[in-house]
Structure 1
Amino acid sequence: MAALLPLIILCPLAVAVILLLSRGTMPARATCGLVGVGMGLCALFGVIEAVTFLNGPDSTGALHVVLWHWIHVGGFDTSFALTLDRLSLVMMLVVSCIGFLILVYACSYMRDDPDIARFFVYMNLFVASMLLLVLSSDMIAVYFGWEGVGVCSYLLIGFWYHETPNANAARKAFVVTRIGDALFLVALLLLATGVGSLDFNAVIQAAPHAPHAAITLATLLLLGGAVAKSAQLPLQTWLPDAMAGPTPVSALIHAATMVTAGVYLIARLHAVFLLTPGVMLLCAVIGFVTILFAAGSALVQTDIKRVLAYSTMSQLGYMYMALGCGAWQGAMFHLVTHAFFKALLFMAAGSIILRVHHEQDIFKMGGLRQEMPGVFWAFIAGSAALAGLPLITAGYFSKEMILTSAYNVAPLFWLGGILGAFLTSIYIFRCVFITFWGEARTHAHGRTGIVQAVPLAILGVLAIIGGWMEVPDSLGSVHIFSNLLSPVLGELPEEHGGAVLLLIGSIVPLIGVSLAWMLWKPTGRAPEALDQPLVRVLRADWGFDALYDVVFVRPYLALGRLNRNDFIDRLYDLLASVTQFFGRAFGLMQTGQVRRYAAWIAVGTVLALCLAV
């Protein structure tokens, strides 16, 4: 079934091309029908390919499809090829299936927008770019997909570009992630010159024999690129502002695609990162710090989408801490469960926003569980999974897998993860209690249609039962997910301190939920602490934006103003003036009179003869 592999990418790409060629003339209903068919085929082909591959004779190996040979210069050779192994299979299913549910939801969410065709062009290009990223066997093709999701995220975040904050948010996301893109590109150049190839297998095989300093620098640069893409400290400032885009965009970026690209890249090159323990330690520290910083900011946000944005940063911190600790299966498992509950939370939040007149401030909602019970239960399921409520949610099992591995490496990492879990349960159920309990401050209108309800129901089920494919030994020893990835990522390390760690990890989220209930359920009003200076600092992302504005933005703008009329600009102006002069001079010769043209030919002939003599 090798032919299906390129079709998985071509389906959303073909939809984007058709909508682009229609130039917005296609009716909204036809547009949504085309998007549903295209993404439905993408998800269907992905499932068929996965089942066929896992049941085939080479299920522990890889399916390699070469589309064309690309570059052959000296000793450097690269092909445009796709590879399906168990790691890329997981990512392919997450992107295609979760992406399908999000785009189906978006058909209802965006149905009244006059630019719905342009919206779905961007969304389908986004999905196609992400599929190219996860299925490519060569890092040059990965870079094309990497840049593709970056460009599409810029277009989607600034989709309503006529509003200045949206355009600013898009530009900010593009510039900050561009830092990581530049680091990634330098790493590719370093690997290409040091290894002679950018094929993943070739790089992994050659890395142990390459100079250690070069490999260390390359992995450090790759980590920098991944950190920017996944909004980890210190390049996290773009993600909260990315909430300016439509809510389905937030669900797609935060759940299954762009922000997880860095996690996948490090997991794909895990054998290379194992050669650089210092870089792995840095990766774990970055994740550890991001968990706590982002959770602290989420505690005081009043915008429901910004609460979820900071929770994304914090949950990605868990993945990076796991990668730094060598818990590759734990990072990928949390990536999958996070895709379930975070897409669910964003889409449920979008349904709330639509029905409360586009209000996003949770302190202006309240009492909504009576008016939208279906959305309430969907949000509860996602919140419980995010908080990691024990035994009944997917987030519990994936988070415990990470915490156990972190404890085996350094108890401090485990302690930070436990504190992060405590803060997570507080801030997400603070959002739940303020939004759905208390007195009603905004009444919901309309109803949540079936097109939105079906994806919410599917993801709600997955957010609850999706974690049962990996249960620790103390609770039943089910290792379906880790066994799936073990041929690619190695065997799962032995558990230590299992029962005690599980007990602590089970109690802490429950304490957090109880504390949130005591603080916010009775009244649903904002406590006085929200006006304190520390709270304002936390709400402003710990002052990172203000710091970067002083250190980078203002000096850059000042330098630009000083450099506006410098000598180099005058030189270019002179060249432009000279070019324009000769252009006008030669233009005077074009009179349209045949006699003058014949005279010029005669003069030229005479001059040529004189020069010849």
Structure 2
Amino acid sequence: MTALLPLVILCPLAVSIILLLSRGAMPARATCGLVALGMGLCAAIAVTEAVTFLTGPASTGALHVVLWNWMHVGGFGAQFALTLDRLSLVMMLVVSVVGFLILLYACAYMIDDPDIARFFTYMTLFVASMELLVLSSDLLGVYVGWEGVGVCSYLLVGFWYHERPNALAARKAFVVTRIGDALFLVGLLLLATGVGRLDIGSVLAIAPMAPRPAIALGCFLILGGAAAKSAMVPLQTWLPDAMAGPTPVSALIHAATMVTAGVYLIARLHAMFLLVPGIMFLCAVIGFITLLLAAGAAMVQTDIKRVLAYSTMSQLGYMYLALGCGAWQAAIFHLVTHAIFKALLFMGAGSIILRVHHEQDIFRMGGLRKSMPVVFYAFLAGAAALAGLPLISAGYFSKEMILTSAYNVAPLFWLGGVFGAFLTSIYIFRCVFITFWGHERTHPHGRTTIVEFVPLVILAVLAIVAGWVQTPEVIAPMHLFSTLLAPVFGPLPEEHGGGMLLLIGSIVPIIGVSIAWALYKPRHKAPVPLETPWTRTLRADWGFDALYDVLFVKPYFALARLNRGDAVIGFFGAVAWVTRTGGAMFAHMQSGQVRRYAGWIAAGTVLALCLAV
């Protein structure tokens, strides 16, 4: 069992290295076959490890695999080691299984791209980095995986870098998330100073005895790093622009895995965050604000991928709200269901985009229900889960678990969560009704291949039934998910106000869908987006980009222009000039004439002899 665990990381890493060394010479179908084999092995090993672990004697504890000692400096040491407990097991299955389905889908999506080998080099490297992040037993190892997924995100967002907007979107994502990465790194250094170690078990054991200010500041910095990676307010502006990458990238990185790394990190360090209630409240407030602002922005988007991007931000807001309320099981449950239905929605959107000549404006689609039935029903299942339609969607159960926990902490959080669910049901079914009902405004071409069909069907089924592993008491006493995570987080707190809260939470999404139908049902006249100053502000992310442009971007460039001729730049300019001039002088010596070379060799020999004498 211990020998297999590193293979979860090594399988995608090996595929990435092979594709890198092939330098694009491998045919597209061979590339896809290699990716399917490597990711299939990764998923199969992950499932095998999960079954073996849960049926073994250490099922309530943790399995540690020490690969080698990383460093030992003074009193500080770090190991390269992996830990499999029930939390990392859940994350490993999400990354491996959902990742396999997305990369299988990507084989069909990217088959005609001439840079398909480069694409899968980055994608498989991302999976390997994400597996390292969730399995590492040391926060330094977590940080290596954290940086790995960040670099891969940059490379994949700007995959089509020959188009300037894509390159700018990649740069923006990299710069904004680097702010969070810097905060995370400083937090780790502070913990290493205050606690003396960075392996997660020791940090959680020693933290209660460490100076409380150091722990509070460390938690604050780690929260900042997590918030940037998860596109929380105020570091959320990068995610909508990151939709410039290929759609499978959005499905894997910006929906199912990387953006949830911050949720996992806080849940992993939950015992330390419990020591600082103020930071937990801040986490809840950040999630509360983000879920409402993102839902509002999604209401007016016209690009199908940006609708889903803002919905991702909103759903991540629910997860951070749950974390701040101490509802660890609810946050991870919603992480799992969200990975399923959001990957499904992005893959459905990708199939639509391919069939309608790469059009992404939903107001230029319409009537696709009949020509794309498989994609329609898959997208409908994902939309139902995102909206949280009662009993028939996985998202309903995970969202209700969060709302109940939020009500027990502060009724205002519950009220905001319910209003966010109301907006969610409106904007996602606005997208469904405009895209699939009414008259065709762009005629689709081609067909949905079997390679696209299989992942869509599997995820659609999971989006409907996966929620039944954890249900409210008033519906059925099914608590498989919270029982699974009980050894990590403890027993699930008792529910309060269950019946009435559940009834309200069940009715609100239905009302939202009804309003969306009333506003966007098929009419003789084709729908058009509403254009007002208010909708333009919402569509521009509430003006955050314009604000940051005034506060940070323009002053930075102005300062750079002022400092263009300072002494430091002059010094390095002089070094560059000397290098270029010297190179030009020596270039004249390379005449290709053997006699001159022999003369220089003789002159050099005479000079060396003279110096020796």
TM over 0.5: yes
Q: Match of 2:306?
A: 306
Q: Match of 2:243?
A: 243
Q: Which amino acid aligns with 1:561?
A: R
1:300 Cα deviation after fit: 0.3
Contact 1:433 1:524 in 2 (8 A): no
Contact 1:363 1:525 in 2 (8 A): no
Contact 2:329 2:492 in 1 (8 A): yes
Q: Match of 2:592?
A: none
Contact 1:328 1:489 in 2 (8 A): yes
1:390-433 superposed Cα distances (whole Å, 9 cap, x missing partner): 01110000000000000000000000000000000000000001
1:175-196 superposed Cα distances (whole Å, 9 cap, x missing partner): 1000000000101110111111
Contact 2:394 2:463 in 1 (8 A): yes
1:573 Cα deviation after fit: 3.3
1:558 Cα deviation after fit: 1.1
Q: Match of 2:367?
A: 367
5 Å-filtered alignment, 1:155-194, equals 155-194=155-194
Q: Match of 1:222?
A: 222
Aligned residue pairs, count: 606
Contact 2:295 2:424 in 1 (8 A): yes
Q: Distance in 2 between matches of 1:343 and 1:144?
A: 25
Contact 2:363 2:529 in 1 (8 A): no
Q: Which amino acid aligns with 2:101?
A: L
Q: Distance in 1 between matches of 2:584 and 2:300?
A: 64
1:510-534 superposed Cα distances (whole Å, 9 cap, x missing partner): 0000000000013286767711111
1:115 Cα deviation after fit: 0.6
Q: Which amino acid aligns with 1:394?
A: A
Question: For 1:300, what is the secondary structure of its paired residue?
Answer: coil
Q: Distance in 1 between matches of 2:114 and 2:581?
A: 47
1:150 Cα deviation after fit: 0.5
Contact 1:529 1:535 in 2 (8 A): no
Q: Match of 2:330?
A: 330
Q: Match of 1:563?
A: 563
Q: Distance in 2 between matches of 1:580 and 1:439?
A: 64
Q: Match of 2:346?
A: 346
Question: For 1:171, what is the secondary structure of its paired residue?
Answer: helix
Q: Which amino acid aligns with 1:200?
A: I
Residue 604 (structure 1) aligned to one of 584, 595, 611: 611
TM-score, normalised relative to structure 1: 0.96
1:447 Cα deviation after fit: 1.1
Contact 2:230 2:260 in 1 (8 A): yes
1:276-304 superposed Cα distances (whole Å, 9 cap, x missing partner): 10000000000000010000000000011
Contact 1:180 1:227 in 2 (8 A): yes
Q: Alpha carbon RMSD of aligned pairs, Å? A: 1.8
Residues 575 and 306 (structure 1 numbering): CA distance in 2 closer, same or farther, change over 3 Å? closer
Q: Distance in 2 between matches of 1:172 and 1:224?
A: 17
Q: Match of 1:460?
A: 460
1:581 Cα deviation after fit: 8.0
5 Å-filtered alignment, 1:196-595, equals 196-523=196-523, 530-575=530-575, 592-593=599-600
Residues 591 and 558 (structure 1 numbering): CA distance in 2 closer, same or farther, change over 3 Å? farther
Contact 2:363 2:528 in 1 (8 A): no
1:592 Cα deviation after fit: 4.4
Structure 1 gaps of 5+ residues are 607-613
Contact 1:157 1:245 in 2 (8 A): yes
Contact 1:434 1:525 in 2 (8 A): no
1:250-294 superposed Cα distances (whole Å, 9 cap, x missing partner): 000133211000000000000000001000000000000001000
1:339 Cα deviation after fit: 0.6
Q: Distance in 2 between matches of 1:583 and 1:353?
A: 51
Q: Distance in 2 between matches of 1:30 and 1:128?
A: 20
Q: Match of 1:104?
A: 104
Contact 1:254 1:342 in 2 (8 A): no
Question: For 2:565, what is the secondary structure of its paired residue?
Answer: coil
Contact 2:176 2:235 in 1 (8 A): yes
Q: Distance in 2 between matches of 1:404 and 1:496?
A: 7
1:559-598 superposed Cα distances (whole Å, 9 cap, x missing partner): 1111111111222334555677889999999974565345
User: Quick one: percent identity of the two aligned structures?
Assistant: 75
Question: For 2:67, what is the secondary structure of its paired residue?
Answer: strand
Q: Match of 1:41?
A: 41
Q: Match of 2:117?
A: 117
Residues 583 and 383 (structure 1 numbering): CA distance in 2 closer, same or farther, change over 3 Å? closer
5 Å-filtered alignment, 1:127-142, equals 127-142=127-142
TM-score, normalised relative to structure 2: 0.96
Q: Distance in 1 between matches of 2:479 and 2:301?
A: 37
Q: Distance in 1 between matches of 2:602 and 2:523?
A: 94
Structure 2 gaps of 5+ residues are 590-595
